[in-house]
Amino acid sequence: MIDLYTFTTPNGRQASMMLEEVQLPYNVHVIDITKDKQFTPEYIAINPNSKIPAIIDQDTGTTVFESGAILIYLA
Ligand X SMILES: N[C@@H](CCC(=O)N[C@@H](CS)C(=O)NCC(=O)O)C(=O)O
User: CB of residue 72 vs ligand X: minimum separation in angstroms?
Assistant: 12
CA 36, distance to chain mean position in Å, is 16
Question: How far is the C-alpha of 16 from the C-alpha of 4, rounded, in Å?
Answer: 8
What's the full length of the chain, in residues? 75
* Cβ closest to ligand X, residue 11 vs residue 16: 11
User: CB of residue 21 vs ligand X: minimum separation in angstroms?
Assistant: 17
Q: Which contiguous run of DSSP H or E holds residue 44? A: helix 41-44
* Cβ closest to ligand X, residue 23 vs residue 34: 34
User: CB of residue 25 vs ligand X: minimum separation in angstroms?
Assistant: 22
Residues that bind ligand X in the complex, under the rule CB under 6 A: 9, 11, 33, 38, 50-52, 66-68
Question: How far is the C-alpha of 34 from the C-alpha of 25, rounded, in Å?
Answer: 27
